[in-house]
Amino acid sequence: MIWAAIIISGFATFLIRFSAIFQVKNSDVPEWLENIFRYVPTSVFAALIFPEILFNDADAIQFLGNPKILAAFAALLVTVITRNIAITITTGMVVLWIVTL
């Protein structure tokens, strides 16, 4: 019974999301709205990443002694230079690992 509820919920969620995407894809979206939509992935990514980097366990912003900031800057530098996501992620992880040793 629980599996049926999970499958039906997943299917319903898929249909709701697919219908919205399908409707937008087949409609004429104004150019000004398309320009706004281009910034949505970057904004969502920043909203997910920056609190994890800047806030400590007590939900206070911590700049000094925060190894995540150094790793983020190293990853940013590698991103600008290489434009390669795999090298960027690896660099960030390695720098964080080295700094926290």
* Residue 26 pLDDT greater than 70, yes or no: no
Which of 99 and 21 is assigned the larger pLDDT?
99
Same domain, 30 and 52: no
Confidence (pTM): 0.63
Same domain, 33 and 65: no
What pLDDT does residue 85 have? 92
Q: Any residues with CB less than 8 A from the CB of 93 and at least 6 apart, and which?
A: 71
Q: What is the number of structural domains in the chain?
A: 2
Cβ-based neighbour number of residue 4 at 10 Å: 8
Same domain, 64 and 16: no
Same domain, 25 and 48: no
Across the range 52-75, mean pLDDT stands at 88
Same domain, 8 and 50: no
| DSSP type of residue 59 | S
Same domain, 43 and 27: no
Same domain, 33 and 61: no
Same domain, 34 and 48: no
| DSSP type of residue 61 | B
Q: What is the residue range of 57's domain? A: 39-101
